[in-house]
Amino acid sequence: MKVIDPHIHMISRTTDDYLKMTISGIHTITEPAFWGGYDRCSADSFHDYFNQLTVTEPARAARFGIKHYCWIGLNSKEAENRKLAEDVLSIIPQYLDRPTVLGLGEIGLNKNSRNEILVLEKQLSLAAERNDLIMIHTPHLEDKLKGTRIIMDMILSEKRIKPCRVMIDHAEEHTIGEIKDKGFWFGLTLYPHSKGSPERAVDTVEIFGADNLCINSSADWSVSDPLSTLKSANEMRRRGHAEALIQRIFYENPKAFLSQCPKFKES
């Protein structure tokens, strides 16, 4: 089985994970820029991080036969530091033309604050200017519904951005309907404690259909699983779903969304 994981944070994972992924059929991955588990103190840290995403990690992945792409952006958790945010926003454009960068991501909201909105607005404007793909991070837990709505309103008011070029990630049962109705792609994240499980992901396929849907592991430095996409595929088999549908969700759908960026070539 061939799988594309469109959202995984490999800088936080080991070479053992790369090996497990490649022998299991995950040969193409995309890694959005994110919050590292701590607040960084200057834009220099982001220079290092963006170089790691665009140079070091693709080379590390290639040793295991995995194609590694990334997304560049400033996450919402570090948006409250206005000076840092402005400095990082100023260096982002120089990384966007690198050969494995697919667009702006993961950008979005965390606690739905005014500073987070300001930083998101600037990054949406940059993406619109460049006609880049966008990967959106929606807030966690109690903040998700409100944040998802604010984010979608912001994107829809930026007329240069087509919803079909935006992935709204970390969608859950109470946000999927509104996301789909507005024409966005949506991502389901398989993250054991705070997001979804393979069982709930397959329920979503059954309730909402496979259109515009991608499933990802979002595996990172916390409790997470880089093989969770495959476990969801297996869950679909346990319920008797056809292989063609499984292949569509875990390979054809992410390929269709990501191929809107001409730099993307699946493995």
Partner 1 sequence: MLDLYFIENRARLLDIASFLDRIDRYHESEEARNDFRYRSLQKALNVLLEPDQKRTQAIQRIFSDPTTEPIENAVGLKAYGAWDGGEK
Question: Which of 91, 145, 156, 261 is in the footprint of partner 1 by CB under 8 A?
Answer: 145
Instruction: Give the binding-site size for partner 1 (rule: CB under 8 A).
Output: 29
Q: 60 vs 140, which CB is nearer to partner 1? A: 140
Rounded distance, CA 265 to CA 255, Å? 8
Token duo for residue 225: 């699983």
Partners of 213 in the β-ladder:
186
68-97 residues near partner 1, rule: CB under 8 A: 79-80
Residue 78 or 132 with smaller CB distance to partner 1: 78
- For partner 1, the binding residues in 201-230 under the rule CB under 8 A are 203
Q: Which stretch binds partner 1 (CB under 8 A): 53-61, 91-99, 114-122, 254-262?
A: 114-122
Residue from 146, 182, 248, 263 binding partner 1 (CB under 8 A) = 146
> What kind and span of H or E run contains 135?
strand 133-137
**Nearest-angstrom CA–CA distance, 36 and 38:** 5
Q: Is 144 in the site for partner 1 (CB under 8 A)?
A: yes
Under 8 Å between Cβ of 60 and 97 = no
Nearest distance, CB of residue 201 and partner 1, angstroms: 12
Min separation Cβ 71 and partner 1, Å = 22
Label residue 244 exposed, middle or buried (CB < 10 Å: 0-12, 13-18, 19+): exposed
Please pick, from the candidates 5, 17, 172, 220, the single residue that binds partner 1 as defined by CB under 8 A: 172
Q: How far apart are CA 231 and CA 211, in angstroms?
A: 20
Between CA 95 and CA 180 the distance in angstroms is 31
Calculate the dihedral angle through the C-alpha atoms of 226, 227, 228, 230, rounding to the nearest 10 degrees.
Answer: 150
The tokens for 134 are: 């966008």
Nearer to partner 1, 46 or 208 (CB): 208
Nearer to partner 1, 122 or 149 (CB): 149
Q: Which residues bind partner 1 (CB under 8 A)?
A: 79-80, 110-117, 139-146, 149-150, 172-174, 194, 199-200, 203, 238-239
